[in-house]
Chain A
Amino acid sequence: MGKMIEIRWHARGGQGAVTAGKLLAETALGAGFYFQAFPDYGAERMGAPIRAYTRLSDSPITLHSPVLEPDVVIVLDPTLLGVVDVTEGLKENGVLLINTTESPEEVRKRLNLEGKNIRIFTVDASSIAIQELGREITNTPMLGAFCVATGLLDLNKIVEQVRKDFGKKLRPDVVEANVRAIQRAAQEVKQG
């Protein structure tokens, strides 16, 4: 990894951004990384815009402040574009991964990122979630897309972690539906 990677999640309360950040952290633990996963707790309610953060590093992390200049931004809900400044502080050559039906080129235009050195990835995680899970819960498919977009973690490790974590609480068919959603998102994510 070489240095610390900082990730910011944008979602709405109830969409599972905190769970996704924690899943990522647990996968990172299995891969031998140091990590932090923490939400930005305001007075949120279901449906309100929220942020959560994940840090990954190969050495201990002592920082305990919010992520201001992320390397990676992940947007779980397309309706946040235009509501929240999702690219705020995003580093040069950073990764912007969005759940949307739009193409990376359309997103680049919409967010006025033409000419900027930001790598944009899009995936229609909502449709994948509805088809595979029967509900629009996009956190797990976005983790699949994250693996492909960043190359930071192995897709199989995320799948393993989901089977382990979700296996404790959910029915086997629901766990496997999540696994399919992750794998589909990894295949369907587009870069532009």
Chain B
Amino acid sequence: MREILALDGNAAVAHAMRQINPDVVAAYPITPQTSTVQTFSEFVANGLVKTEFITVESEHSAMSACIGAAAAGARVMTATSSAGLAFMWETLYIAASYRLPIVMLDVNRALSGPINIHCDHSDTMGAREAGWIQIFSENAQESYDNFIQAVRIAEHPDVLLPVMVMHDGFITSHAMERVELLTDEEVRNFVGEYKPAFPTLLDVHNPITYGPLDFYDYYFEHKRQQVEGMAHAQEVILEVAREYEKLSGRKYGLFEAYRLEDAEVAIVVLSSTAGTTKAVVDKLRAQGKKVGLLKPRVFRPFPAKELADALRHLKAVAVMDRSISFGAMHNAGPLYLEVLSAQRIYGGSMPVVDYIFGLGGRDIVPAQIESVYDDLFRILETGQVERLVTYLGVRE
């Protein structure tokens, strides 16, 4: 029977890992991720999974162990945050370029310095060119659902890329909510038995090499093939989501459009803040204001055309970024720059502005989100954009 439990985001993902029962998990603790692998290690110790749990001395080693195990043909998972992800840097690229379907939870946390353990998206935004598929989750339920789907996406023969699933540090990772679990059997059947798409290191009858020297002779071709995997990912993500909806009744897409269809103005924002924005949308709608929300779920590959199509009818759009792309145009956030690029190619002439918010876990409250909608209506009235980038909730 399916269970409904009171779980925080990290425990929800630990349960997803238990139900998936991966062959190998190699991980190193870091706040606010720690309780995920801690909970999972209890499942291992209690014999609930057959996983080989490898404790390592750093995140660089954690990802290296994952790569080795995955190249040997194992279904592999890990979890990290912030500086842990940064320490994996070199190996993130290696995992993607070896086309290893590793699945990782990243609990979004600011990067140092100054030292901060709280939520922003700098860690995974920094890793956005590493070749991983990136999926953001609004709450514990979504993180659980996304993690299970990630296995199928990563292992799909047309994709074969690692997937990172994100939820917000503390806000989601440590908030207990109502989470509906599938049964163990349902998850087991959904992910299926892992059959590596290519020969593995332990297959002595089909010797194969992973990661040899690859200079100007073939490196470029390998990178070109990596693009193909990413290009196929979008359709596979949707296909897996459709199948997951049939099983769970919960619908997932490339993004979620909330009261967007007849909206005049809208906010584009990731993760938990999208949830808070929904409450603001409901409030303003009750006052007769035509506001909407678009919450990207998949950030890599970025669904540029679909997103531009969904926004095209709007009269003004605000993107909210929980990170800064230092030195980029106007020092804007990465989500803003992606939305602008999408608009440039796929159309849409409305003004788009950016709000940097919530860095280092700075609270974001409904009144601030309401002020963003107010700003958008002011743009409609005056036809003027005063600032492209606004810092929301900073002292200056």
Contacts and interface: CB of A to CB of B under 8 A. Distances in A.
A35 interface: yes
Interface in A131-164: none
Nearest to B139: A64
Contacts of A112: none
B276 A62 contact: yes
Contacts, number: 62
A157 B177 CA distance: 18
A66 B178 contact: no
Given A63-B275, A63-B276, A34 B171 contact: no
Nearest to B171: A64
Contact of A65 (B139, B174, B176, B363): B363
A62 B141 CA distance: 12
Interface stretch (A36-44, A103-111, A168-176, A181-189): A36-44
Contact of B171 (A26, A38, A61): A38
B279 interface: yes
Contacts of B117: 41
Contacts of B139: 62, 64
A34 B175 CA distance: 13
A35 B178 CA distance: 7
Contacts of B364: 65
A66 B362 CA distance: 11
Contact of A35 (B6, B275, B276): B6
Nearest to A29: B6
B170 interface: yes
Given A38-B174, A62-B278, A26 B365 contact: no
Nearest to A38: B175
Interface in B187-224: none
Label chain B's interface by main secondary structure.
Answer: mixed
Q: Which of the four size classes fits the interface of chain B?
A: 20 to 34
B172 interface: yes
B366 interface: yes
A1 interface: no
Contacts of B171: 38, 64
Interface residues of A, number: 19
A12 interface: no
Label chain A's interface by main secondary structure.
Answer: mixed
Contact of B279 (A21, A25, A62): A62
Contacts of B176: 21-22, 25, 35-38
Interface in B261-277: 272-273, 275-276
A64 B172 contact: yes
A65 B276 contact: yes
Given A29-B4, A35-B6, A41-B170, A62 B275 contact: yes
A84 interface: no
B6 A68 contact: no
A143 to B, nearest CB: 15
Interface in A38-74: 38-39, 41, 61-66, 68
B4 A36 contact: no
Contact of A64 (B5, B8, B175, B178): B175
A36 B6 CA distance: 9
Contacts of A35: 6, 176-178
Contacts of A66: 363, 365
A68 B365 contact: yes
A159 B279 CA distance: 33
A29 B174 contact: no
A135 B138 CA distance: 40
A22 to B, nearest CB: 5
Nearest to A60: B178
Given A25-B6, A25-B176, A64-B172, 13 more contacts: A29-B178, A35-B6, A35-B176, A36-B177, A38-B170, A38-B171, A38-B176, A62-B138, A62-B275, A62-B278, A64-B273, A64-B275, A64-B276
17 contacts: A25-B6, A38-B171, A38-B174, A41-B170, A41-B174, A62-B139, A62-B276, A62-B279, A63-B279, A63-B366, A64-B138, A64-B139, A64-B168, A64-B171, A64-B273, A64-B275, A65-B276
